[in-house]
Chain A
Amino acid sequence: MSFRAAVVTFPGSNCDRDMAVALEAVSGRPALRVWHGDADLPERLDLIALPGGFSYGDYLRSGAMAATSPIMRAVVAAAERGVPVLGVCNGFQVLTEARLLPGALLRNAGQRFICRTVALRVENTLSPFTAGYADGDTIRIPVAHHDGNYYADAETLDRLEGEGRVAFRYTEAVNGSARDIAGVLSANGRVLGMMPHPERAIEPAAFSSLGGADGRKLFESILANVAVA
């Protein structure tokens, strides 16, 4: 199996290398690197990853400018064909601005940038990203964001919950997110946006000071999903 993942870099992305390192560590294959100005993605992708950072300096709104960049037209088209898309932190913000995921990420309720490892409950174990976790697993993943306060209207939140599209939930209030939502899935389950950084939590437990290894299963799940498909 030759796993093919692409990591998109926008001007101001700063977790793109971490994402590429995580993907290579888990898959044994180097991730393909794509620039925001590219019009096309590489062919036959098994995953597209939108990394964290501060694309375009967070001008206008976090993720708003990146969502209009040429590569995002290709990402939207690929997502519509069913290629799995993972957006982490700023990548999540870009996915909501591109309307691949519902809702929006507001300024943290406490106004402060939050940088620490938090506990998440895995709420969906059926998606290609979360199939390796067990129902109700609690995992520890670092967050580092200023605009991570998930907002959607009550009707949308009810729909997300009813359709099992809340992938991860904070086990305690972190940033003011509606219903403590930390990650959401698209209707077909193949697009995941999450504020916490699984790519920062792929090292064995001996390195728990670096975030632990609970994020590793997310990448292993994607790989296993490709092997089955």
Chain B
Amino acid sequence: MQVRVLVRLKPGVLDPQGRAVHHALEGMGFSGVEDVRVGRLIELDVADDTDHAALTAMCEKLLANTVIESFTIETPGAL
């Protein structure tokens, strides 16, 4: 089963990388960009019977640092 985990900095946590990308886009002449936040997409290939609780535990214990990041889990049913 293919699972996608999207890890994002929580709102309010400064994202210097996003800010630099935002600045670069403006420098390239793209207008109307209000904000840029850079996150991380993690693709997992897991056993079909892997339950949501196990995936959540993976996210909370390693894939995301919940002090600064939030995560969403996309399983095939939800894609």
Contact = CB atoms under 8 A, between A and B. Distances in A.
A36 interface: no
Nearest to A63: B65
A45 interface: no
A108 B16 contact: yes
B16 A176 contact: yes
The secondary-structure label for the interface of chain A is loop
A111 B13 contact: no
A97 B65 contact: yes
A149 B65 CA distance: 15
A158 to B, nearest CB: 16
Contact of B62 (A60, A102, A109, A151): A60
Interface residues of B, number: 11
B20 to A, nearest CB: 5
A64 B67 CA distance: 13
Given A108-B16, A151-B14, 15 more contacts: A64-B65, A68-B62, A96-B67, A97-B65, A106-B14, A106-B16, A107-B17, A109-B14, A110-B16, A111-B17, A149-B16, A151-B67, A151-B68, A176-B14, A176-B16
Interface of B: 13-14, 16-17, 20, 61-63, 65, 67-68
Interface of A: 60-61, 64, 68, 96-97, 102-104, 106-111, 149, 151-152, 176
